[in-house]
Structure 1
Amino acid sequence: MAPPQPSAPAPSAAPASPNGGRVPGISGTEGPPGSPWPWTSHGPPPQPYAGALPETPTEITTRLRPIRDRHPARTAGAVVCVVLGLGLIGGAVTGSWLVDDSAASPASRPLYTDARTLWHSVPVDTLFPRTIKGDGAGPGGADRVWTRVAVAPDGPCTGAFDPLLLKALRPVGCMRLLRATYTDATTSSVTTVGMVVTEADRDAMAALRKRFSEEGLDERADLMPRTYAVPGTVAAGFGDRQRASWTISVLTDAPVVVFAVSGFADGRPVAEPMPAAEAMVPGDTSAPAQAGLGHEAKGIADRVERALRKSATSPEGPE
């Protein structure tokens, strides 16, 4: 069983939708054919959570999934597999010189397949590092360093997003939601970053990315991701009204949607939140822009996305 998780601040009313509560191109309340709603995983029920990690006193973190210790026999078997694998790879390379295989799998196929299982097969510190270095990620190319405050237990998407964002993401399904919250070196800002592991194939992800781009769904304030706040931490007051800037990235080389939302650590509400792309424009005088909150959201989201790709394409791969 998971240790008791502190509850986040009660969500406030989402910003008014400019389209009367409709997301362009999305209608109805049902999920995709054959898929239950609210979203649930098609796989077996998740295993119980492991206990909290022995981390710094200021951090409250739950491990997403336990990782088995390596066994000597398993390691020896892996060595044998590597030797045999090298022989097979050599034969495959030789064959590729002799025959033009036009039907070869795309190089990114392992990434797409592996990324779907990473949430329960790699340590949480790999997906959400305890410290993220953002060289040149701040305003004017300033360096940034972010420290992890808390990691949320993995779970479903229902209840973690505003209704319109749930509706926008429904075509790709939600296998699992992963989230963590970070603060900057001065503890003046807080950012929740997350990944939606979807049930979709490449075509569905490409279609969703196109819709977000063409209809500007990633720039609508009523489609902002929600925060993950934890009492007793610097992010204790990070609720819906404190959201200041955000970014959403629909990947096509992995069944994942990466997002981040930032705000002030002192809990001040923000009347006019801005997409990260707008808040990062030099010379903007809005509060989110002046505080560099667009850079915070974008910088952390980009680096978590890179960590995901690196993990999926690692020689060890997911266990």
Structure 2
Amino acid sequence: MAPPAGRTAAASGPEPSWSTAAPAPAPDFVVALGEPEGYDDRGRGRALGARVRPRVAVAAACVVLGVGLIGGAATGSWLTGDSGGGGTAGTYATAGTLWHSVPVDRLFPPTVDGRGAGPGGADRTWTRLAVAPDSGCVNAFDPLLHKVLAPVGCARLLRATYTDATQSFVTTVGLLFTTADAPAMRSLATRFRTEDLARRTDLVPRPYPAPDTVAAAFGDRQRASWTVSVLTEAPVVVYAVSGWADGRAADTPQPAADAMKAGATTAAAQAGLGNEAQGLADRIERGFRTTAAPATEQPS
């Protein structure tokens, strides 16, 4: 498949690919996701007996306090994105399974508030138009982006398309759950950073044109701005791509980081489409971290 017109050619060399076989049977993502499993015995230790010596009781209390501080620090690092080397193997693996254990409305809320997310700090509100069917990663990306992401594999790709309060813009946000271990995710994140891959106009994610909505005409030619974030404490890539709701084509897509710069004069920048993509991606990523933190906590 040739890259869209106006985009640079791929580098030469063999192109790795995911399996084109149909994904393993799984519960339908839209209607069959269950509530996440809970955990018992999560924290409150029993009171020390009256006959425990004071010195021993003080030492025990210090141990409990220390464990609590360590657990709090671990949860805090997850929420802020400071993985401290990728987090523990247990929390990493658990985060990678949330695609089938967390309800769709937790991953892609029906309404997302974006206080201060618009140009000049204006508030934004996004309404979900539709969640894409769970179809795996086959044909989900342009060939070059497929090639870049291939080393981390694909367990599931979850996508939803939103519109702003005025229904002027549409944005698809995606959560790619990979099959990679933490070192592989760190390697991909490093490559995106050092090779500036998030700014290449031949590596723009594809949108989901939700049928029978204002996003029905949101195709490849309508991609105007985008952002990609590779997590290192979970096997997940978060991305968003935005465009106009009226179906107009974008001459050249502009990365959100550039479209949001002061003084940017492109059509995407002037319309605030960089803010649409970045603002929604940030909040979906933040929601994922918040949802994942309780699921990955270990009983104290």
TM-score, normalised by the number of residues in structure 1: 0.76
Deviations 1:286-305 (A, max 9, x none): 10001000000000000000
Shift of 1:17: 4.4
Contact residue 181 and residue 228 of structure 1 kept, 8 A: yes
Mapping 1:258-269, distance limit 5 Å: 258-269=238-249
Change over 3 Å in CA distance of 1:315–1:86 after alignment to 2: farther
Contact residue 248 and residue 259 of structure 1 kept, 8 A: yes
Shift of 1:153: 1.8
1:132 alignment partner AA = V
Aligned to 1:253: 233
Question: How many residues end up aligned between the 2 structures?
Answer: 269
Query: Structure 1 residue 142 and structure 2 residue 122: aligned?
Result: yes
Aligned to 1:21: 10
Mapping 1:233-248, distance limit 5 Å: 233-248=213-228
Aligned to 1:272: 252
Aligned to 1:87: 45
Contact residue 35 and residue 101 of structure 2 kept, 8 A: no
2:15 alignment partner AA = T
Q: What RMSD over aligned residues (CA atoms) do the two structures have, in Å?
A: 3.1
- The SS at the match of 2:126 is strand
Contact residue 67 and residue 121 of structure 1 kept, 8 A: yes
Alpha-carbon distance between aligned partners in 2 of 1:155 and 1:92, rounded to the nearest angstrom:
51
Contact residue 39 and residue 174 of structure 1 kept, 8 A: no
Alpha-carbon distance between aligned partners in 2 of 1:28 and 1:316, rounded to the nearest angstrom:
38
Aligned to 1:297: 277
Query: Structure 1 residue 202 and structure 2 residue 197: aligned?
Result: no
Deviations 1:131-160 (A, max 9, x none): 000000000000000000000122311111
Change over 3 Å in CA distance of 1:82–1:235 after alignment to 2: same
Mapping 1:1-319, distance limit 5 Å: 14-18=4-8, 20-22=9-11, 27-31=13-17, 37-38=19-20, 45-49=24-28, 62-63=30-31, 65-67=32-34, 81-82=40-41, 86-87=44-45, 94=63, 108-109=87-88, 111-314=91-294
Deviations 1:118-138 (A, max 9, x none): 111011000000000000000
Alpha-carbon distance between aligned partners in 1 of 2:142 and 2:22, rounded to the nearest angstrom:
17
Shift of 1:216: 1.4
Alpha-carbon distance between aligned partners in 2 of 1:124 and 1:209, rounded to the nearest angstrom:
26
Deviations 1:256-313 (A, max 9, x none): 0000000000000010110000000112111000100000000000000011111111
Alpha-carbon distance between aligned partners in 1 of 2:296 and 2:202, rounded to the nearest angstrom:
40
1:67 alignment partner AA = G
Shift of 1:67: 1.3
- The SS at the match of 1:156 is coil
- The SS at the match of 1:313 is helix
Shift of 1:69: 10
Change over 3 Å in CA distance of 1:230–1:97 after alignment to 2: closer
Contact residue 191 and residue 261 of structure 1 kept, 8 A: yes
Contact residue 35 and residue 102 of structure 2 kept, 8 A: no
Q: Which moved more, 1:227-236 or 1:109-118?
A: 109-118
2:34 alignment partner AA = I
1:14 alignment partner AA = P
Alpha-carbon distance between aligned partners in 2 of 1:82 and 1:316, rounded to the nearest angstrom:
14
- The SS at the match of 1:208 is helix
1:66 alignment partner AA = L
Runs of 4+ deviating beyond 6 Å: 90-93
TM-score, normalised by the number of residues in structure 2: 0.80
Structure 1 runs not aligned, ≥5 long: 1-10, 51-61
